[in-house]
C-alpha cells in the first residue's frame, strides 16, 4: 500500500493541501500527517515544534502562536524553483478547514 508521508512532500510543501491533493492524484492509498496544537487550542497540521523550517515569514514554536498567527504564514510559495507550489501560496492543512474535498474520504 502506498502511503504519502506528509502528503506528496517530494512534489509539494509537506503537510499542505497541495501535498495532500498531489498524493491523491499520484494514487496514494493513505496520507500520514502530523498534528500540533496552537496557543489557543486549535489543532494544526505541522511536523516540527517550530514554524522555522517549513514556513517563510515565521519564527517560533507552534504552541506559542495563535491559530490566526499560524494562518498568516507562507507554508509553501517558496517550494519550487519553477514557481509557486501547486495551488499558489502554500495553505496550511487545518483539520476544520472548510475545504470539503477531504471530509469523509478514505485516502
The residues carrying an active-site annotation are 5, 47
Q: How far, in Å, CA of 7 to CA of 54, rounded?
A: 14
How many other CB atoms sit within 10 Å of the CB of residue 24? Answer: 18
How many other CB atoms sit within 10 Å of the CB of residue 66? Answer: 13
Q: How far, in Å, CA of 29 to CA of 78, rounded?
A: 27
- Taking the chain, what is the end-to-end CA distance rounded to the nearest angstrom? 11
3-state class of 67 per DSSP? helix
Amino acid at each position: 500500500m502506498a502511503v504519502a508521508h506528509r502528503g506528496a512532500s517530494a512534489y509539494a510543501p509537506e503537510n499542505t493541501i497541495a501535498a495532500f491533493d498531489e498524493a491523491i492524484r499520484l494514487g496514494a492509498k493513505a496520507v500520514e500527517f502530523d498534528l500540533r496544537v496552537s496557543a489557543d487550542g486549535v489543532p494544526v497540521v505541522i511536523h516540527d515544534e517550530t514554524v522555522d523550517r517549513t514556513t517563510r515569514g515565521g519564527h517560533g514554536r507552534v504552541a506559542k502562536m495563535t491559530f490566526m498567527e499560524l494562518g498568516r504564514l507562507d507554508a509553501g510559495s517558496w517550494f519550487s524553483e519553477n514557481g509557486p507550489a501547486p495551488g499558489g501560496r502554500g495553505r496550511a492543512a487545518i483539520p476544520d478547514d472548510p475545504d470539503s474535498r477531504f471530509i469523509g474520504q478514505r485516502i
